[in-house]
Amino acid sequence: MSLLLTLLLSSFAVTGLLIVPFINVLYSLKFQRRVQKTRDPLDQRTPIFDRLHQKKAGTPVGGGLLVISVVSILFALLFPIMKHFGVVVTQVYPLVDELNIIFFTFISFGLLGLYDDLMKFFDIENTGFFGLRFRWKFLIQIILAFIVASLLYFNLKIDIFYIPFIGVFRIGWLFIPLAAFVITAFANAYNVTDGLDGLASGLLMIALFALWYLSSAILDTTLSMFLVLWIGSLIAFLYFNVFPARIMLGDVGALSFGATLAVVGLLLGKVMAIVVVGGIFVLEVTSSLGQLLSKKFLRKKLFPVAPVHLWLQLLKWEEPKIVMRAWLAGIILALFGVWLAVI
């Protein structure tokens, strides 16, 4: 445990030292949020979103790239050193396969988000919905998710689905589409939630602490190391992301973090627990999806505005109030999710 805490603090320190120069680089590149007329996946204008978020224009975007880089480089440097000095590394799965799956998800979804950010902020090509058209971005997410799900099934032999109070079920090849759905859903859920300063990152920090506990309980040192490095870097980022934010994640962080959160849950064999731990993310994406489906098929809005955090803003809730109460709800959900996972 002391070693893991050392890694967490090291990741925090490295990110803390780099983030201010990184913010300055983003300013110099003009990689900043702009006042724009956004559109939803149905290519319809979102004037309420634009009005409520126009004050965020000018904030640098791309903090996810720094977190992904710090975590990946530190893991690559420190993990071999630990093994060299005789630190006992216990794991549930074959080491190389587990690392390949974790970092393939972490980096590939990040690259997809980075491409979308570049298209959006540098006006390389005006294709409609935030850079890539939504259908193409969604298709690429599905392809990546199926690759990861197949690696989990074929390389790690994971094919179980645990339902609290009932038991464990082996579902065979059906695990692949289920896992792909969970990964894609959480990638988009995190992206939808990442709309207020500190909201998504704070909720993720809470969820990762819960997952760290679960990974320690099954003695998966490899996964625990990845999680503590991620937590440490995320805390340093969150210091600059709380209201009023000096930096935002961007799609590079949102897609990567959501997908990787889902993969960690799948590696732990706790899909239902991760749905509870990430309950706010689920609520946010469900409200947004319900709104889109209602607009498409019923030709009317299901809610005045979606997702939920935007609705609360419309009701004149102050942004910090929404975020703080979401964090409190996230803590309770994390505790409940851990309880479900260990009973």
Question: In sequence order, what DSSP letters do the residues of 158-215 get, joined into one string?
Answer: --EEEETTTEEEE-GGGHHHHHHHHHHHHHHHHHHHTTSTTHHHHHHHHHHHHHHHHH
Q: Which amino acid is at 115?
A: Y
Map residue 45 onto helix, strand or coil: strand
> In this structure, what are the phi and psi dihedrals at residue 208, rounded to the nearest 5 degrees?
-70, -35
Q: Considering only CA atoms, which of 147, 182, 142 is closest in space to residue 162?
A: 182
Write the CA distances from 33 to 102, 159, 282, integer angstroms: 29, 42, 25
Ramachandran quadrant class, 334 (left: phi over 0; alpha: psi -120 to 50; beta: rest): alpha
Place of tokens 């640098």: 60
- CA–CA dist 64, 2 (Å, integer): 27
Q: What is the pLDDT of residue 123?
A: 62
User: What is the pLDDT, as a whole number, of residue 278?
Assistant: 96
pLDDT at 131 (0 to 100): 47
DSSP symbol at 278: T
Cα–Cα distance between 330 and 343 in angstroms, integer? 20
What is the Cα–Cα distance from 111 to 260, expressed in whole angstroms?
13
pLDDT (0 to 100) of residue 89? 80
Q: How many helices (H) and strands (E) does the chain have?
A: 13, 2
Cα gap 229→227, rounded to integer Å: 5
* Nearest alpha-carbon partner for 188 in 124, 266, 244, 116: 116
Which residues, given as ranges, of the chain have pLDDT below 50?
A: 127-131
| Own/partner long-range contacts of 29-34 (Cβ < 8 Å, ≥24 apart) | 30/121, 31/60, 31/61, 31/62, 31/117, 31/121, 32/57, 32/58, 32/59, 32/60, 32/61, 32/121, 33/57, 33/58, 33/59, 33/60, 33/61, 33/248, 34/121
Q: What residues contact 312, with CB distance under 8 A and at least 6 apart?
A: 322
pLDDT at position 300: 82
Q: What pLDDT sits at residue 46?
A: 63
Residue 68 is inside which H or E element, if any? helix 63-84
Q: Residue 41's pLDDT is what? A: 61
Amino acid (one-letter) located at 179:
A
pLDDT at residue number 57: 79
**Among the listed residues 314, 312, 320, 318, the one whose alpha carbon sits nearest the alpha carbon of residue 243:** 320
* Rounded Cα distance, 123 and 176, in Å: 37
Cα–Cα distances in angstroms (integers) from residue 249 to residues 6, 49, 62, 70, 190, in the given order? 25, 18, 5, 14, 11
Q: Kindly report the backbone phi and psi dihedral angles of residue 108, in degrees, each rounded to the nearest multiple of 5, phi listed first.
A: -65, -45
